[in-house]
């Protein structure tokens, strides 16, 4: 790479008279053969890797249609990458995940709490924050993406990933609700329900676009909470009802 080479050549180089005696030129013929072999292997490996990465990030095309499997085998799991950053279009909807719980209060009555907007909670935690945590920025957002991508519109899970995503969401929700202390002191969570609220971002002031910004809800069925669904050893509040 030219720009880079120039930078390097600014360094003091080995004295020219002996320059030919370093690197491959300093070796005897037998060693040179080995070095040449290494040169070929390394160059080939680097080019092959870059070609694979290129095909991985490129749109579906003739080559990827034919050799998709070979490319995937090379790329996954460690070289997976996705650089469609805010592309082709940035997300234009605020999707918030909300949850409510059915709790049994200390006096033994069962009641349903109101909806807690967990995403709004995250959003508030990010406000004015120079160092937002992944737990505020990615955890719930990506868990919901995972759920949506592994379920059909009837909320039927697709294979292992579907099941896992359901458990994941449930555990996050229980963890977050636990922090909210729903139903007051001594109450225990028996069931939870999750829904998403999707609202289009209103177009900018200067735009004459008309966009419906009324929210759309997607409501999931009620889920029973078992001790297995309670992360970070906070099980005490559920175990009683868990039976």
Partner 1 sequence: MSRLDRLHRLERPIASLARGIARVTATALGPYQTAVIRIGFAATWLLFLLRELPNRHEMYGPDGPWNWDMAQQLIANNHAFTVLMWSDSTFWFETVYVLALLSSVLLMLGWRTRTMSVLFMVGVLSLQNRSIFMGDGGDNVIHLMSVYLVLTRCGQVWSLDARRLRRAQEARARGERSGADEAGRPGGGADEAGRPGGGVDDTAQPRDGVDDTAQPWDVVDEAETRDGFDSGHSRDGFDDSGHSRDETDTREDETRDRVGPVLWWILGLALSVVTFMGELGWGWLLIFWGLWGAHGLWWAVERRAPGGELRLLLDVVANLVHNAALFVIMAEACLIYATAGWYKIQGSRWQDGTAVYYPLQLDSFSPWPALSDALAAHGTLVMLVTYGTVAVQVAFPFTLFNRRIKNVLLAAMVFEHAVIAVVLGLPFFSLAMITADAVFLPTSFLRRVGGWAARARGVLLPGRRRGSRGEPRVPGQRRGEEPDPESAEQARVGFTA
120 touching partner 1, by CB under 8 A:
yes
Nearer to partner 1, 68 or 202 (CB): 202
Nearer to partner 1, 2 or 107 (CB): 2
Which residues, listed in sequence order, are joined to residue 137 by a DSSP beta bridge? Answer: none
**Where does 181-241 show beta strands of DSSP type E?**
188-200, 216-219, 223-224
Nearest to 138 by CA among 130, 146, 148: 146
Residue from 60, 153, 154, 206 touching partner 1 (CB under 8 A): that is 206
* Alpha carbon 154 to chain centroid, angstroms: 23
- How many residues bind partner 1 (CB under 8 A)? The answer is 97
Question: Which DSSP helix (H) or strand (E) runs through 99?
Answer: strand 93-104
| Alpha-carbon span 223 to 58, nearest angstrom | 40
Kindly tell me the sign of the dihedral angle through the C-alpha atoms of 88, 72, 75, 62.
Answer: negative
Q: Is the peptide bond before 88 cis (omega within 30 degrees of 0)?
A: yes
60 touching partner 1, by CB under 8 A:
no
Residue from 205, 208, 210, 214 touching partner 1 (CB under 8 A): that is 205
179 touching partner 1, by CB under 8 A:
no
38 touching partner 1, by CB under 8 A:
yes
Stretch that binds partner 1, among 62-70, 104-112, 157-165, 216-224 (CB under 8 A): 157-165
Q: Which ranges of the chain does DSSP label H, i.e. alpha helix? A: 2-9, 29-57, 62-75, 118-126, 134-137, 139-149, 159-180, 236-242
18 touching partner 1, by CB under 8 A:
yes
168 touching partner 1, by CB under 8 A:
yes
DSSP 21: G
Nearer to partner 1, 105 or 157 (CB): 157
Stretch that binds partner 1, among 40-48, 104-112, 185-193, 216-224 (CB under 8 A): 40-48
Nearer to partner 1, 105 or 137 (CB): 137
């Amino acid at each position: 790479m030219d720009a880079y080479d120039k930078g390097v050549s600014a360094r003091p180089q080995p004295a020219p008279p002996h320059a030919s005696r370093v690197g491959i030129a300093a070796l005897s013929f037998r060693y040179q053969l080995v070095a040449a072999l290494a040169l070929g292997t390394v160059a080939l490996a680097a080019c092959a890797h870059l070609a694979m990465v290129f095909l991985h990030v490129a749109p579906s095309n003739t080559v990827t249609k034919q050799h998709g499997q070979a490319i995937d085998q090379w790329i996954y799991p460690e070289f997976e990458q996705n650089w469609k950053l805010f592309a082709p279009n940035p997300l234009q909807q605020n999707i918030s995940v909300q949850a409510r719980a059915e709790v049994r209060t200390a006096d033994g009555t069962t009641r349903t709490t109101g909806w807690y907007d967990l995403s709004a909670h995250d959003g508030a935690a990010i406000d004015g924050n120079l160092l937002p945590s992944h737990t505020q920025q990615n955890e719930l957002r990506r868990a919901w993406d995972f759920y949506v991508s592994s379920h059909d519109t009837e909320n039927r899970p697709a294979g292992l990933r579907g099941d896992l995503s359901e458990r994941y969401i449930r555990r996050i929700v229980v963890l977050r609700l636990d922090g909210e202390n729903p139903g007051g002191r001594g109450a225990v969570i028996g069931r939870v329900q999750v829904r998403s609220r999707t609202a289009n971002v209103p177009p900018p002031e200067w735009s004459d676009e008309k966009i419906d910004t009324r929210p759309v809800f997607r409501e999931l069925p009620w889920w029973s909470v078992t001790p297995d669904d309670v992360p970070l050893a906070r099980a005490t509040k559920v175990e009683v009802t868990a039976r």
